Structure 1
Amino acid sequence: MTQLRSYQRAGVDAVFDFWAGGGENPLVEAATGTGKSVMVSTLTREVMERWPDMRVLMLVHVKELVQQNAQALLRSWPGAPVGINSAGLGRRDLRSPILFASIQSVYRQGRNLGPRDLILIDEAHLVPKAGDGMYRRLLDDLQQTVPDLRVAGFTATPYRLDSGRLDEGDDRLFSEIVFSYGIGQGIADGYLSSLVSKATDTTLDVSGVARRGGEFVAGALEAACDQDAITQAAVDELAHLGRDRRSWLLFAAGVKHAANLRDAVRARGIACEMVSGETPQGERDRIVRDFREGRLRCLTNCSVLTTGFDAPAVDLVAMLRPTLSVGLYVQIVGRGTRLASGKENCLILDYAGNVRRHGPVDAIEVRGKKDGSKPAAAEVTEVRAKECPSCSSLVALNTRVCTTCGHEWTREDAPKHDAVADAERAILSLAAPPWLEVSGLSFARHTKPGSPDSLRAEFHCGILTHRVWVCLEHGGRAAEKAAQWWRRMGGAEPVPATVEEGLERAEAELVWPHAIQARQAGKFWEIVGYRFAAGEGWSTRAVLNVEEAA
């Protein structure tokens, strides 16, 4: 059976708790790459265990997610009564108790699918707010048979591409967000790749581009972006900044723009292809497979790789597609957050001004109108991140102390409207602190009156010592975080239940990082990053101290 991460377990439990309290249609927010398919499969299995007569329909918009979600369920429940309905996969099952389907294949089949008590929707931000579209048509037909059917949604962006929240408005489908696990949390916990960015000299000017429905008009946007001088300058810069990166993913403003970017990259001797909605399915599958398997270093695209695309090795994302949509911005950046062997982080190059417009990706704020009407999209000249005058890092507007260099802003300071939106590390609200080489590691028992004992890990970095308190015996969220830390440091299962057991096992099991990142949190410091020597398999080399500490 699949071992759930603590947040995955918490997300599934939140859905059941919401239903137990009388709620109807919950929404789970989980960042790209954090394993929504595992949460979906666990929820499906446990629903069927509690109510064996339930009939479940799981909907997505691309065949890859149909297959991925079905396989996740079969891994945890090999005998599950699963069917698949997807033209792209060559399957047309209709009556299976658990049916995984692409919405394009079944939206006209509501009367043929039989009664469905629970609908699960992955990439739920694609469900329209108004009563139209494929999802709404199918749900309306299914409710004719089961009026009180329930819908649960999963998404990395709980707002539509026009910035409207999924849980707001009189005609919303989802009742409320019952659980959130964002990009910042995933990076801090070690489940997602860190993100960094560097300032680009080339910037796309969209100040005169018309807008409609909360987004740039497509044709006018491409005309502004697809200019040869800009393309050549951007690709020159891309080739320089990405010289040490192995897998580049470029987002273009149109089909011709994507093709021109591809040609410019090829002209510099780099293997590159492009995909768009016009690319034949077989050819698209081949190109994407070549990219995933490393035969292509670069892939350009127009509007087809923003959701449901999984290529963990991507370590450079270039935004040459300006957007007023916070959802599209987060989805684009999310393509680079998956972990992969040999990948230290993902470099985000923002030629489009999206970071300045929307703010750091882990500090997104979606603003809607109080009357429930359609929220306003971002403004072209809006500034939602500010540049540190000392080190050029970009941070959230409400930041008072720069986490990179310690510069302090006064309350009278205002963000500069000519701020460089893509300055180094701008893509995250908390800029990454420097790496400190670890010269020694030790462990001890820590006691505190009125609390259970904890395991104290001390990382010695020259004259500095940074500590982590691992609360193995505390229970609840503290114990979950202790288990995450133990696994992240290479510890074996099961996680120690006591401090004594942790001390006995630490030297043999835990891997000694050769560098850490530490960030100040109030009066104390917390370790926020670990770097391990690739392929060396270092042991802790720790001196274990089991004496009680005050």
Structure 2
Amino acid sequence: MSFILRDYQQKSSDSAVDFFNDKKKKHNAIMVLPTGSGKSLVIADIASRLEGHTLVFQPSKEILEQNFKKLCSYGILDCSIYSASFNSKEINRITFATIGSVKAHPELFTHFKNIIVDECHLVNPKEGMYKDFFESVNCKVLGLTATPYRLSSSQEFGAMLKFITRTRPKIFSDVIYQVQISTLLDQGFLSKLNYYDLRPTGWDTTNLRINTTGADYTDKSVVREYERIDFYSFLVSIVQRLMNPIQGGKRKGILVFTRFLKEAERLTYSIPGCAIVSGETPKATREMILKQFKAGEIPVVANVGVLTTGFDYPELDTIVMARPTMSLALYYQIVGRAIRPHRDKESGWIVDLCGNVKRFGKVEDLKLVEPKKGLWQVESRGRQLTNVYF
């Protein structure tokens, strides 16, 4: 191997190999590794060490391509891609795949011994492609994620974030390894973050209404609050200030998370060189915008509902959260875009315009705790965030 693992990466890889090799452990398990911890490197090391065939599921074409190339760059050649998106359906000792491409052909993978699932919080324990496939091939499954919880809601009780080893039914039963965000920050493996709570004058979260799932605010109530306080003008003024900060030096890039297209468009009218990326942006256009953003040719990117996972740009040092959310996963994913370290980045700035940091706390305050054996939960400064009703 042409790489050296950090201490926690080696421990996580060892734990995974022991898990797959332990014939007594029949249940599926997860490992929790924070954003920026080098999950793709850990997956590469695990897969290279396992005996027999290993299937690695990736949540999207972009992340699959990124992680497959990383695996190959480490000199591991007995690997392939089975994905219709790549027009490639090759099976090898290590096979990277998307669930949509293999769901109808489990018989091709019944000789596999191991399954690794990246972003395993996406696995629906009640029904769906993953569940059906796992039951068909009947082999041990290890999931990796930075956000080990799923939303559950019912008309009778309301909404709850459930830790994925505590759902009923459940796919994953055990946590075999985890490392805290604060630990990696203390060791210098993640970038220091500075948080700025800059809610506009008059901003009132009590005016926001919860949607029918209980998971987030309704579009209508958010728009009404934006218009009541002219949030659009406020957002423009904040981004203009960030482009010429009084202290802290010129920012490497400013990534603005908006909920609707209207705020993003307002920025493009007022900020020279600002570009928009949304779910409607053609892939080629998006890649061009992001390439120019990383090169410093585009100073600000306003993105609507995208770039929360799989966007790897360590130099990025400024995030503007221009949307309120009740989603802990979305909050963490947004902040995580600035948490990757880089030699030229002293710290990442998290500029919160909607009270999200107040709601959840700093991401380094998020802790995985196990108050009773097997009953894992996420807390922030002692406040329980999972397995409690909203």
TM-score, length-scaled by structure 2: 0.83
Alpha-carbon distance in 2 for matches of 1:223, 1:130: 34
DSSP-derived class of the 2:365 partner: coil
- Partner of 2:337 in structure 1? 335
1:136 has 2:127 as partner: no
Could you tell me which residue of structure 2 aligns to residue 121 of structure 1?
A: 117
- 1:247 is aligned to 253
How many angstroms apart in 2 are the aligned matches of 1:164 and 1:366? Answer: 13
Corresponding residue for 1:7? 8
Q: How does 1:28-47 map to 2 (within 5 A)?
A: 28-47=31-50
Distance 2:15 2:83 in 1: 30
Mapped partners of 1:221, 1:152: distance in 2: 40
**2:172: which partner in 1?**
174
C-alpha deviations, 1:125-175, integer Å up to 9, x for none? 22223222x333433xxx32x32x011111111112562211112311111
Q: Secondary structure at the match of 1:198?
A: strand
> Counterpart of 2:15 in structure 1: which amino acid?
A
Q: Give the residue type in structure 2 aligned to 1:287.
A: I
Instruction: Give the conservation status (yes or no) of the 8 Å contact 2:36–2:190.
Output: yes
CA contact 2:13–2:45 (8 Å) conserved in 1:
yes
Q: How does 1:91-110 map to 2 (within 5 A)?
A: 91-110=87-106
Q: Do the aligned partners of residues 131 and 300 (structure 1) sit closer, same or farther apart at CA in structure 2, a change above 3 Å counting? A: same
Alignment check: 8 A CA contact 2:81 2:91 kept: no
Q: How does 1:468-483 map to 2 (within 5 A)?
A: none
- Offset of residue 266 of structure 1: 4.7
Q: How much has 1:114 moved relative to structure 2?
A: 5.2
Secondary structure of 1:289's partner?
helix
Q: Who is 1:86 aligned against?
A: 83
Q: Which residue number in structure 2 is paired with residue 151 of structure 1?
A: 141
Q: Give the conservation status (yes or no) of the 8 Å contact 1:29–1:158.
A: yes
Deviation at 1:365, TM superposition (A): 5.6
Give 1:34 deviation, angstroms.
1.2
1:212-291 equivalences in 2 (<5 Å): 212-220=212-220, 222-224=222-224, 226-227=226-227, 229-243=230-244, 244-254=250-260, 256-257=261-262, 260-269=263-272, 271-291=273-293
Aligned length: 360
User: Residue 184 of structure 1 aligns to which amino acid in structure 2?
Assistant: S
Q: Tell me: higher relative CO, structure 1 or 2? Use CA pairs within 8 A at least 6 residues apart.
A: 2
Deviations 1:233-266 (A, max 9, x none): 1220232145321211111113x24xx3343255
The correspondence of residues 459-474 of structure 1 with structure 2, limited to 5 A, is none
Partners of 2:181 and 2:30 in 1: CA distance: 17
Please name the residue that 2:150 is paired with.
160
1:119 and 1:40 map into 2 onto residues whose CA distance is 11
Q: For residue 135 of structure 1, what is the amino acid of its counterpart? A: Y
* C-alpha spacing 1:196/1:67, structure 2 compared with 1 (3 Å): same
Write the distance in 2 (CA, Å) between the matches of 1:225 and 1:301: 20
The structure having more radius of gyration, on CA atoms, is 1
- Once the two structures are TM-superposed, the CA of residue 222 in structure 1 deviates from its matched residue by 4.8
Alignment check: 8 A CA contact 1:225 1:253 kept: no
Name the SS for the 1:197 alignment partner.
Answer: strand
Is residue 180–residue 368 contact of structure 2 (8 Å, CA) maintained in 1? no
1 CA distance for matches of 2:295 and 2:60? Answer: 20
Q: Name 2:29's counterpart in structure 1.
A: 26
The gaps in structure 2 that reach 5 residues or longer are 153-160, 245-249, 384-390
What is the SS of the residue equivalent to 2:126?
coil
Return 5+ residue gaps in structure 1 as ranges.
378-383, 386-395, 399-550
